[in-house]
């Protein structure tokens, strides 16, 4: 009888404990994942009282993910929840470290929350430049050498950083003061729409998930419509990209962001079959042998005119694209202080980049189109 009573007691205790475990597990799993269709570097899961943002590729070949807890004031956070940094939302004051972050803030209409940035002259947007001129945004030096003293004095709610690896002592210093640092890996995305989808990342910090979704859907629709238009072209021209730097021609790989644009614009990238991260470093001679007859040359470095091109090297004259004045650069469109607009706005607006390229490769399809980023080299 004692054994039976003991077994009944164990069963009773077990029955009492199981509902508690189930309830806690249920509470932790009630989150709803935000739909991410193209980006591979982050995930967002919304819970009743908080949001988890997981950044999977903060930099190429990263060996660890970062989990960020975004919680409103007085939010009920379950015990045992694991995260790397906690951020109070909606964010009121923010520091970002890449010009690619600026368009997302502006499109979400939260640019006034920006209080500091490293390298203010690189920012091109007129909207944000007005805030800079009014003294609303502080200069923070350089991204690789942040002025941590000024940044800490600003006491932002969060710093959105980017890095080529995890060795950033400035970010570590900032974290130790209690200011959360969150990595953004939009630049590691290879898909044009994947880069643009990171607006949803910013939306989470400002409680603007719905607004970010609407903005991204509009960009996606426009991009797909442009791709469909390009597919009606009768011919697919050959395209060369990249530029020389210190005796090496840096060429995007065939699985890169640039190569995807060329493909979606219904053109053939000379190095489409290559794969890798970053850029290939090739000799001038090998590029000439492979791409001398290419119809177009895009993203021709810092060159803005044929005069500059030939001053650098007369050998460029051997390319058919040069002979036919079919060289296009993004360096001709700059902001008031010299920042190249393409590097700031292009990742957020791939639809505009694609339209530019279609108008170049298939001018008959978009005869009256005014390009945003790419311009023909001047004489």
Q: Cα(69)–Cα(234) distance, rounded to whole angstroms?
A: 51
Asked if 273 and 363 count as a contact pair (C-beta separation under 8 A), the reply is no
Q: Cα(39)–Cα(57) distance, rounded to whole angstroms?
A: 10
Q: Cα(192)–Cα(309) distance, rounded to whole angstroms?
A: 29
Burial (0-12, 13-18, 19+ Cβ within 10 Å), 262: buried
Spatial neighbors of 267 by CB under 8 A, at least 6 apart, are 236, 237, 238, 239, 296, 357, 361
Three-state DSSP class for residue 247: coil
pLDDT for 208 equals: 97
pLDDT for 123 equals: 97
* CA angle in degrees (0–180, nearest 5) for 115-117-120: 115
Phi, psi of 153 (to 5 degrees): -65, -30
pLDDT for 64 equals: 87
Cis peptide preceding 377, ω within 30 of 0: no
The structure's pTM equals 0.90
Asked if 119 and 95 count as a contact pair (C-beta separation under 8 A), the reply is no
DSSP secondary structure letter of residue 256: S
pLDDT for 12 equals: 38
pLDDT for 7 equals: 37
Phi, psi of 250 (to 5 degrees): -90, 115
- pLDDT tens, position by position, for the chain (379 residues)? 333 343 333 333 333 333 333 333 334 557 899 999 999 999 999 998 899 999 998 998 888 899 999 999 989 999 899 999 999 999 999 999 999 999 999 999 999 999 999 999 999 999 999 999 999 999 999 877 899 999 999 999 999 999 888 788 899 999 999 999 999 999 999 899 999 999 999 999 999 999 999 999 999 999 999 999 999 999 999 999 998 888 899 999 999 999 999 999 999 999 999 998 788 999 999 999 999 999 999 998 899 999 999 999 999 999 999 999 999 999 999 999 999 999 999 999 999 999 999 999 999 999 999 999 999 999 8
Q: Cα(118)–Cα(176) distance, rounded to whole angstroms?
A: 20
Asked if 138 and 116 count as a contact pair (C-beta separation under 8 A), the reply is yes
| Residue/partner pairs of 44-48 with CB below 8 Å, 24 or more apart | 44/200, 44/201, 44/204, 44/209, 46/209
Q: Which residues pair with 243 in a beta bridge?
A: 250
Spatial neighbors of 234 by CB under 8 A, at least 6 apart, are none
Three-state DSSP class for residue 30: coil
Write down the residue that tokens 């475990």 correspond to.
Answer: 21
pLDDT for 1 equals: 37
β-strand pairing of 94-96 with 114-117:
parallel
Domains of the chain: 28-219 (3.40.50.1980), 233-376 (3.40.50.1980)
Asked if 216 and 273 count as a contact pair (C-beta separation under 8 A), the reply is no
Q: Cα(40)–Cα(63) distance, rounded to whole angstroms?
A: 15
Q: What is the DSSP string of 203-229?
A: HHHTT-HHHHHHHHHHHHHHHHHHHHH
Q: Cα(295)–Cα(323) distance, rounded to whole angstroms?
A: 10
Asked if 36 and 57 count as a contact pair (C-beta separation under 8 A), the reply is no
DSSP secondary structure letter of residue 20: H
Its sign, for the CA torsion 183, 189, 192, 197, is: negative
List the one residue out of 295, 251, 298, 308 whose CA is nearest residue 276.
Answer: 251
pLDDT for 60 equals: 86
Alpha helix stretches (DSSP H) within the chain? 2-28, 102-107, 126-133, 148-154, 169-176, 192-196, 199-205, 209-230, 257-264, 284-291, 306-312, 320-323, 341-345, 350-361
């Amino acid at each position: 009888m004692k054994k039976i009573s003991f077994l009944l007691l164990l069963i009773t205790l077990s029955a009492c404990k199981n509902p508690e475990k189930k309830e806690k597990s249920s509470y932790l799993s009630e989150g709803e994942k935000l739909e991410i269709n193209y980006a591979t570097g982050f995930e967002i899961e919304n819970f009743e009282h908080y949001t988890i943002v997981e950044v999977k590729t903060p930099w190429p070949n990263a060996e660890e993910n970062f989990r960020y807890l975004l919680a409103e004031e007085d939010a009920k956070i379950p015990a045992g929840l694991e995260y790397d940094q906690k951020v109070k939302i909606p964010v009121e004051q923010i520091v970002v470290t890449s010009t690619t972050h600026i368009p997302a803030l502006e499109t979400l209409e939260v640019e006034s929350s920006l209080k500091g940035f490293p390298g203010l002259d690189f920012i091109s947007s007129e909207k944000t430049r007005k805030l800079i001129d009014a003294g609303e945004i502080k200069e923070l030096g350089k991204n690789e050498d942040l002025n941590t003293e000024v940044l800490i004095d600003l006491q932002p709610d969060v710093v959105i950083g980017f890095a080529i690896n995890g060795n950033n002592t400035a970010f570590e210093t900032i974290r130790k003061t209690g200011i959360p640092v969150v990595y953004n890996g939009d630049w590691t995305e290879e898909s044009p729409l994947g880069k643009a989808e990171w607006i949803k990342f910013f939306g989470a910090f400002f409680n603007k998930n719905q607004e970010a979704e609407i903005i991204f859907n509009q960009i996606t629709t426009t991009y797909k419509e442009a791709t469909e238009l390009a597919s009606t072209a009768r011919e697919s021209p050959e395209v060369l990209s990249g530029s020389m730097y210190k005796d090496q021609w840096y060429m995007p790989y065939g699985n890169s962001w640039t190569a995807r644009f060329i493909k979606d614009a219904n053109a053939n990238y000379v190095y489409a079959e290559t794969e890798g991260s970053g850029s290939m470093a090739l000799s001038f001679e090998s590029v000439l042998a492979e791409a001398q007859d290419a119809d177009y040359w895009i993203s021709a470095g810092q060159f803005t005119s044929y005069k500059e091109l030939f001053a650098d090297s007369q050998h460029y004259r051997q390319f058919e694209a040069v002979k036919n004045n079919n060289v296009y650069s993004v360096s001709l469109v700059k902001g008031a202080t010299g920042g190249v607009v393409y590097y700031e706005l292009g990742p957020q607006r791939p639809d505009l980049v694609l339209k530019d390229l279609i108008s170049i490769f298939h001018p008959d399809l978009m005869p009256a189109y005014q390009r945003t980023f790419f311009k023909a080299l001047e004489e």
